[in-house]
Amino acid sequence: MKLKKGAWPMHDPAWVVIDTNVALDIWIFKDPRTEYLKSVLMGGELTWIATEEMREELKRVLGYAHINLRLQSLGLVIEEILNRFDFLVVLKEVAPKAIYRCKDEDDQKFIDLAVKYQTPLISKDKCVLTMKNRLKRLNVSVMPEWKYPAEKAGLS
């Protein structure tokens, strides 16, 4: 599947911000709803932008006992996941605070970056999803990963 020309005209290839839980679904939990997202990222049709702070959050979460057990069951170590992140992600500077604030301060960094670059934010976090209409006013689409393909994202 290819991104439609003009689906997200700000950047070529299109940029996206992905929250930590979706990253875990891609690499640790292998959620089938993230397969399309993973394929367009790996194919270079979509560029994942993040900050060093987001990488540090991923590293911290990968250290949680239940996540670490899952890693071990897959025969993976934290460094492998961080290497995958480093391979796919284009690092950006921390964005200024957006005019809309999330109830969960840990999620604010994702919102701020998406607002700064007016990119879609892929998140299944309830606090982020409740901000969908407000962020739409700032040209930011908020979508859970399973709604990413086709009609919701302007993909064919």
The pLDDT tens digits for 108-156 are 999 999 999 999 999 999 999 999 999 999 999 998 864 444 444 444 3
Q: Position of tokens 């290839």?
A: 13
Backbone angles phi, psi at 30, to 5 degrees: 50, 45
Task: Say how far apart CA 17 and CA 100 lie, in whole Å.
Answer: 17
Domain ranges of the chain: 14-152
Amino acid found at 145: E
Burial of 146 (0-12, 13-18, 19+ CB in 10 A): middle
- The DSSP result for 55-119, as a single string, is HHHHHHHHTSHHHHHHHHHTT--HHHHHHHHHHHEEE-PPPPPPSS--SSHHHHHHHHHHHHHT-
CATH of domain 14-152: 3.40.50.1010
The answer to whether residue 18 scores a pLDDT higher than 50 is: yes
| Residue 11 confidence class, pLDDT cut points 50, 70, 90 | low
Task: Say how far apart CA 40 and CA 100 lie, in whole Å.
Answer: 29
Specify the higher pLDDT residue, 146 or 38: 38
Choose among 146, 24, 99: nearest CA to 114: 99
Beta bridge partners of 143: 122
The pLDDT tens digits for 59-105 are 999 999 999 999 999 999 999 999 999 999 999 999 999 999 989 88
Q: What is the pLDDT at residue 147?
A: 47
Q: What is the pLDDT at residue 21?
A: 94
Q: What is the pLDDT at residue 98?
A: 95
The answer to whether residue 5 scores a pLDDT higher than 90 is: no
Q: What is the pLDDT at residue 144?
A: 81
Task: Say how far apart CA 140 and CA 41 lie, in whole Å.
Answer: 19
Task: Say how far apart CA 26 and CA 41 lie, in whole Å.
Answer: 11
